[in-house]
Amino acid sequence: MEYDLCIIGGGAAGLVVAAGGAALGAKVILVEKHRLGGDCLHYGCVPSKALLHSAKVAQWLRRARDFGITAAPPHISLPAVMRHVQAVVDRVAVHDSPQRFRELGVELCFGSGRFVSGEAFEVDGRLLTARHFVIATGSRPAVPSIPGLDECPYLTNETVFSLEEGVSHLLVLGGGPIGVELAQAFVRLGSRVTLLEQGPRILPREDEDLAAVVQERLAGEGVDFRFGVRVLEARGIPGAVTLHYRNTKADEAGRTHTLSGSHLLVAAGRRANVEGLDLEAAGVVLNPQGRIATDARLRTHNRRIYACGDVTGPYAFTHMAEHQATVVLRNALLRIPTRVERRVVPWCTFTDPELARVGLSETEARQQGLRHEVYTFPFRDIDRAQAEGETAGLAKILTDRRGRLLGAALAGPQAGELIHEYTLALARGLKAGELSRVIHVYPSLAQINRRVADQRLKAALTPRRRRWLQRLLGLRGQT
């Protein structure tokens, strides 16, 4: 075998495997058909967060009077904002440059390839053999089958950050994280925004009370929501797009509605990039969701071939791709049997306010029939949130009957940062009471993590237990 590792795909997962393999002394080749960095760098995490921050700055200017400051309404140039976004991408891209990876000892091969057997991968006529292959080809936007959509100009997360003109009215298909994040960004940047969703609300994977915090904020900022929508047809030319749709409610089922806008954004989920790889020749099979099937050690049906990142899922998160990459390295090179973490996986929707979660949601606990307790605490009762005028939202934890944490979620300011305390607690099997005993800085938003844990302790102190303590300790307070 010519190489120890042949990695197919230069996104987050593939780059971590490549860098880690070279650091361990393996002979590594990385195959990439386009450019290093993948969806996260060029079309996802980095540009979207830069865009969201620009939009937040505009919103701060609108709210300046709330904090005793007089400021002029923001003058927004979307092309200028997009130039800022691209500048951020360019600065971050230095870490994923071909030069850096060559200096690390990784051989790069740019081109499209396919498996010719379970032991060989061909790239533009060159045959690559390796002890282990790692498929890390990522995912791309899923485009729904809507009549006329193929002929209609539309945006996805792969093209929206390249806009060179203003957007007067953005139509968004999909109420998942990508759809709601970009809907809020554009409405704050001065666009009229209409979001269409098949279901009854946004963020269907989250508990309804938490998603409602985000939905209420977006509605208040001007996002027009259309729920229970089935799009029948799409038509348009650049600058003018029209959708024909029906409402799935019984009293609306027969009526057809028309909605027009200047731009259309399709945010209807993701599809694994598996086409053209000739996986059958390598003995690699797909699961019912169209992703590469793997075991708990991320091995495919061909034990010499691993898969990690979006192409195998189930979570399309960069931090999960990086975790899976370390699992592949431990199994393939270090030969340390290691299972991928599936229980304690945090994630965040970066709207304002943010929505973050780890572990079981209340909805999932009910669906699984698990006995659980739910405790909540509002941000409006956190002094730091009051000081900063960011009081919308709440923290929620789920515990078993003994107080051990099952899951946690926050909808509120900096939820994506605050969730990590719960992530560590869940990973270590801690009880809510142990969070309650930890000293938290005052005033800080993180105090909400202790305050919601306090609710568990208060609930455990029933009137009967209180009377027992009074008798035991000789206390004379009210009974």
For residue 252, what pLDDT is reported? Answer: 64
* CA-closest candidate to residue 10, choices 129, 114, 93, 75: 93
- Where are the domains positioned within the chain? 3-36+97-141+271-332, 149-269, 347-463
Question: Would 3-36+97-141+271-332 and 149-269 be classified into the same CATH topology?
Answer: yes
- C-beta of residue 226 within 8 angstroms of C-beta of residue 196: yes
For residue 254, what pLDDT is reported? Answer: 74
- C-beta of residue 71 within 8 angstroms of C-beta of residue 61: yes
Q: Tokens for 110?
A: 């740019």
* Cα–Cα separations (whole angstroms), residue 20 to 23, 27, 75, 87: 5, 11, 46, 28
- Mind listing the pLDDT tens digit for each residue in 257-268? 999 999 999 999
Phi-psi domain of 422 (left: phi exceeds 0; alpha: psi -120 through 50; beta: other) = alpha
The dihedral built from the CA positions of residue 172, 178, 182 and 185, taken in this order, carries a sign that is positive
For residue 5, what pLDDT is reported? Answer: 98
CATH, domain range 149-269: 3.50.50.60
* Cα–Cα separations (whole angstroms), residue 9 to 112, 247, 338, 352, 462: 10, 41, 22, 33, 57
Q: Which CATH class is domain 347-463?
A: alpha beta
For residue 136, what pLDDT is reported? Answer: 98
Location of structure tokens 């996002």: 223
pTM of this structure? 0.94
Q: Which fold has domain 3-36+97-141+271-332?
A: FAD/NAD(P)-binding domain (3.50.50)
Q: Tokens for 446?
A: 């993180």
For residue 465, what pLDDT is reported? Answer: 73
The residue ranges of the chain whose pLDDT is under 50 are none
